[in-house]
Amino acid sequence: MKPTQQLHELGQSLWLDNITRGLLRDGTIGYYIREYAVTGLTSNPSIFEQAIRDAPEYSAAIHTKVDEGKSGEELFFELALEDLTEAADLFRPVHAASGGIDGWVSLEVSPLLCDDPAATVHAARRLHARARRPNLFIKIPGNRAGVLAIEESIFAGVPVNVTLLFSREHYLAAADAYMRGIERRIAARLDPDVASVASIFVSRWDTAVKDRVSAGFQNRLGIAMAMRSYKAYRELLASARWQKLAAAGAKPQRLLWASTGSKDPAASDTLYIDALAAPDTINTMPAKTLLAFAAHGTVTAALPADGGLAEAVIAEFVREGIDDTALAAELQRQGADSFTRSWRELMMRLGAKADVFND
């Protein structure tokens, strides 16, 4: 049995952290579904910027839409929705077979809205309505403004992938927003079955401290922070508050491991996949990491529900001078800034392509 199938049997979903029109049209994503038990995918502005920059498959579509008067964000979201609705249809059988738990794809609202919850909610509702697919998440960052938007979006019935979470505290804030949205739906006699995932970014911790700690500490902090969040996740699912919502028909907001491609050439290319095997979670990974794990990954024991040695490891980093609370906030800000830069580059890329067709 392939390691990817072993993870699937353990109860962890494998999602592809990539999408291009070429991968959809040449059958690659279908192949990943059949051969590697891939059951969903995610996207972000960086992924789309690279796809549109490098893939010739978009040229004809851009030409047509420019002729129709489309430009900027409107042009991008039309292209992205074409790709993601096609991907959603590929994963629709998984979505149906899992009762709506799996088989999701994700589309991000404009990162320029990250500090405007009302605009984020409006954009989330509009994008989800345009997609007309039950298995499309709208990605909303889990910063302070985003937490307000998450609650309102869930209350409005929009499935949400909460992104840019780095710590247990970030996760718990997102989970609380999700549950408040569900509680409000129940109070309003609306269906409480509105799906969500909470995406914990892992490898960026290790990149951030690489030059600040000694060699023996390399590539350990991200996994420890993920394990701490996993403990909080299991405790929340056992809580009286969640059990009441589950009894009313709500589904858990599943924990998702993001940024799980190894950034350190000296580390194993399957480091974060091997370490974060856990039931009722998702691991979303780039194709390179997926193929490496399928070839030589290992599935040993599942993560301990009690967090294992996470606190002891984090305490070691604190003694090395790492303030995990401050660093989590810094990483979240950096992540938002990175997505904003990618968004602006994406708009510039589309503008340049549109100018070619307008000449």
Q: What residues are annotated to the active site?
A: 139
3-class SS string, the chain: CCHHHHHHHHCEEEEECCCCHHHHHCCHHHHHHHHHCEEEECCCHHHHHHHHHHCHHHHHHHHHHHHCCCCHHHHHHHHHHHHHHHHHHHHHHHHHHCCCCCCCEEEECCHHHCCCHHHHHHHHHHHHHHHCCCCEEEEEECCHHHHHHHHHHHHCCCCEEEEEECCHHHHHHHHHHHHHHHHHHHHCCCCCCCCEEEEEECHHHHHHHCCCCCHHHCCCHHHHHHHHHHHHHHHHHCCHHHHHHHHCCCCCCEEEEECCCCCCCCCCCCHHHHHCCCCCEEEEECHHHHHHHHHHCCCCCCCCCCCCCHHHHHHHHHHCCCCHHHHHHHHHHHHHHHHHHHHHHHHHHHHHHHHHHHC
